[in-house]
Structure formats: structure tokens, C-alpha cells
Amino acid sequence: MRNIAILGSTGSIGKQSIEVLSLHKDQYRIYALCAYSSLKEMCEQAVSTGARVLGLSKGGTEIPAVLSDREWYFGDNALEKIAALPEVDDVLVSVVGVIGLKAVIAARKAGKRVLLANKETLVAGGKLVMDLCSDDVNGPVLLPVDSEHSAIFQCLQGEKENPVYRIWLTASGGPFREWSKEQIQNATVEQALGHPTWKMGPKITVDSASMFNKALEIIEAKWLFRVKPEQIQVAIHPQSVVHSMIEFEDGAVKAQLGTPDMRVPILYAFTYPGREQTGVKRLDFDVLSGLTFTEPDTDKFPSLKLAYECLNIGGASCCVLNAANEVAANAFLKGRISFGRIYEVVNETLQRTGYLSAGNTGDILFARLFLQS
């Protein structure tokens, strides 16, 4: 029986994690839950799962009577405290934003296995995190949950000694894949939120439309799999059946396929190296035809170029990219800027900021605060 802490329990990944873990109650116990501000929803989760420790990063500190016997944490440090609980074995980090970085570091310093569904952690602090994540005798101590990085991780199993030539990150292309550059520049919020494949939160859905999500995934892949930026290639794959691929030195390519359902990579991270029932729909090869792969148009989606530029610059550039995009995407969602301005804001911010150090967590958080000021 492994004790699980879910950070970001009321988000999409958190909810689906609770769902798939409920199928395997004989192996996993949800011991702790932490949400941002959705107290009512988290309390409902606590009642249904029996979680003994609860946390809220923002909002009130009033404890509901029905859950007064549980251990509670509130405020900015709630995530870190729960991540380091001695009773916890695995910590799923599925919060949004760079707030996940300190939680991941706290979990690793406490010897916990981390299941990562937070892009910003590696984008902002990749080297710091990976320095704490050398695999031990029991296997990997950091397991990716994002579908693309989980796919790469799965393709690498059994290939430890074989050199990787290239990583192929697949992308659906989002709702604007066939739009002209001018149309994309003037897209509405409603149009940007109309993702053709995945159901996600508003910010990550906008990132998918601008392809900033793929830019962040390029940066993640560089750290997770310890490859050079030039070894990472993006392929537009609208069918979202091939979740990513590995190309080896001998020309062989391994791909991970499946129906587009996040429950598969979520549960694989928990059950690694085993595989358990997820309840997802099986891939039907009888009706599957016409898988396509094309090169992304970086003129229409210039965010991809920024990922490589920031990796080459180093320092806190990737953190700056992430923070600026977060601000710009939220401004677009609130109707303050046009869709086309998202990239422009990020690029202008990178140009103005210049080089900032990223030698420790303090440097990274300073870079973020510097931008916010």
C-alpha cells in the first residue's frame, strides 16, 4: 500500500487521478489532498477518499466541522509541507504555475517519488530539480505525467544503453492549425478555447492554441531526458493517437499510441513499472486510418522558436518565457490584449529582461518577481 499526496486535487489531472486510483484501492491510499482555493470541492474529495491531511494554498482558514478530525495546512507553504509529510510515498504535483517548483524540491529533499504534471517546474528550474532526481535502486524518482513526456518515457524503457538520435514531440496543432496567420492574430477567446481533442483548463487550452504549451514541453524534454535542444523535434499530428516518439541512432523509431485519455499516463506514473486497468476506451485499429505528421509552421506559431532561443541563452530565460506567457495568456483570457499580442508580449519581455541568473530557487523566484514588478 502506497500513500499518495495529490497537490492540485481539484484540477483536471487531480480529479482524474482520484478516479483511476479508486480502481486500485488495494494498492494506493490517497493520504493527502491540497487545492488552491476550491475548499468545497476539496472537502467533497476528502470525504469520498478518506484523505487524512488537507491543504489550501489560498483563501480562508475555517475548517469544516465534518472534517475537523483531519490535519490541515493553509497558505503559501501548504504545498511544501504536505509534499514532505513522512507518511507519504508518492507526490503528484499537478498545480498550475511556478508554485509547483518549491513543492517538488521539498518532496525530493524528503525522499519522495514525484509524479510531475506541472510544466513550470522544469521550465523554470530544470537543472535544480534534475540535480535532485538521480534514479535510485528502486527506479526513477521523478515520473512524467504529461501525455507527451510519458510517451517518451515509455518508449525509452528497455533502451537504457541505446543512444537517442532524436525525440519527436507530437502536437495536435490546436484549434488554429489550418488558420491563416492573420486569422490567428485576431482569434477570440471563445475560438482559442475550442480545442479539437483535449478538455483542459482555460490557460493551458490557450497555450495549446498559441503552441506555447509545446514550447514549454520542448524545454521540459531537454531536462527530463537529458538531451540537447537540437535533438528535440515537434511534429503536428492532428489525430492525437501517437503521443510522442523516439528515434534511435540506427534509424529505428519507437512510438507510444493510444486513445487521447489522460488517465493512461496518470496511472502509468503511479503503477510504474507495472500497468493496471484504467477504464479507458481501447484503440480500434479497424477504424483507424490516415495518421498524418507535418512540420509546424513557425511563422504562424513563432512561440516554438522562443523555446530553443531560451535554452541556448540559459540562465533564467526559460523562467522569463514561462512567466511572461502566463501573464500574457491571462490578459488575453480577460480581454485585455489580442491573441496575436501573446507572443509579442513574451518576446518583448525576453528582449528587455536580458540575462538573469538561475543558480538556485531564490534566483528563479527573483526573476519572476522582477517581471511582475
Give kind and range of the element (H or E) at residue 270.
helix 263-271
pTM over 0.75: yes
Cell numbers 510504474 correspond to 272
- Beta-sheet strand order (sheet of 113-116): 71-74, 53-56, 28-35, 2-7, 90-93, 113-116, 142-144
Catalogue the E-assigned strands of 94-203: 113-116, 142-144, 164-171
Query: What is the length of the chain?
Result: 373
Structural domains of the chain, with CATH = 2-144 (3.40.50.720), 151-372 (1.10.1740.10)
27/38 Cα distance (integer angstroms): 28
3-state secondary structure of 338: coil
3-state secondary structure of 256: strand
114/131 Cα distance (integer angstroms): 14
Exposed/middle/buried for 338, CB within 10 Å: 0-12, 13-18, 19+? middle
91/159 Cα distance (integer angstroms): 26
Residue-level pLDDT at 366: 59
Q: How far is CA 288 from CA 127, 155, 239, 279, 365, in A?
A: 40, 21, 10, 20, 46
Contact 89, 68 (CB under 8 A): no
Contact 49, 33 (CB under 8 A): yes
Helix axes 12-21, 39-49, angle to 10 degrees: 10
Do strands 53-56 and 71-74 pair parallel, antiparallel, or not at all (unpaired)?
parallel
Q: Collect the ranges in the chain with pLDDT lower than 50.
A: none
Cell matching residue 63: 475548517
Q: How far is CA 264 from CA 12, 205, 317, in A?
A: 14, 20, 33
Contact 145, 266 (CB under 8 A): yes
